[in-house]
Structure 1
């Protein structure tokens, strides 16, 4: 099995937080990977050596400045009453709602969902903002969120 249930997920509270709980009917669409599957995905798509964003090496694609075209503020949108992603992110990521995305917190913590689900609950995902990277299946665009309230917009190469 490649996934664990949201009920078993160690950070389940980010999706059940009283200020913005995810309705039960959407839980099946938020699929935390098992540690083994997450580690494999991270190794193949983010870094073969580094366990998290803080320790990426200069050889890892996220560390190459040429892969990033812009950096914008996400914190203002996160704190706003509306649920919309920052406009610059929506403009940059022009994916269909059914595109599979991977929200990569670190080597052993990756969540698979659909772009529509991520857009709807992006604020929940960012309760943990310690360098997560969003990737899309068979897509080159990438987002790299930072604890300083910014997100890098770029391409995975």
Structure 2
């Protein structure tokens, strides 16, 4: 099986929390990958050795300074009443709404969804801000959300 039912996902509560519930029509588009599929995606797109963002090696593209062009604050926007992603993020990622994106928490925890769903519910995804990286299918742009409240804007190999 490629995906876990959302009901079986260990972090389901971040999408159903009463303070920020995701509507049903968007919930069905949030697809946690099964562990084997997540590990394969992580290995092919982020790191063949490191299990999470804290342990990337110098060979992993996210560790290379040249991968990142800018860093902006996301925490201020996350804590505000404004639902939109920070403007600098939206300027960096100019994708069509139907682009498939992968929100990568760690090797065994990757969520596939659409850019439009992520944009609407990015605050839910960032209930866990332990260094997740957002990639788009067949896109070079990348976002790396850091625990210090900053997001790195860059391009991946």
Range into which the TM-score falls when normalised by the shorter chain:
over 0.9
Q: Does 1:156 align with 2:156?
A: yes
SS, match of residue 119 in structure 1: helix
SS, match of residue 98 in structure 2: coil
Residue-by-residue CA offset, 1:87-108 (whole Å, 9 max, x unaligned): 0000110000000000000000
> Can you give the 5+ residue segments of structure 1 that lack an aligned partner in the other structure?
none
Mean Cα deviation higher: 1-10 or 115-124: 1-10
**Paired positions, count:** 157
After TM superposition, the runs of 4+ consecutive aligned structure 1 residues lying more than 6 A away are: none
Q: Distance in 1 between matches of 2:132 and 2:139?
A: 17
SS, match of residue 153 in structure 2: strand
State the match for 1:92 in structure 2.
92
What TM-score do the two structures reach when normalised by structure 2? 0.99
Q: Does 1:24 align with 2:24?
A: yes
CA RMSD of aligned residues (A): 0.5
Q: Does 1:46 align with 2:37?
A: no
> Can you give the 5+ residue segments of structure 2 that lack an aligned partner in the other structure?
none
Q: Distance in 1 between matches of 2:5 and 2:120?
A: 19
Q: Distance in 2 between matches of 1:104 and 1:75?
A: 18
Instruction: Give the superposition deviation at 1:83.
Output: 0.4
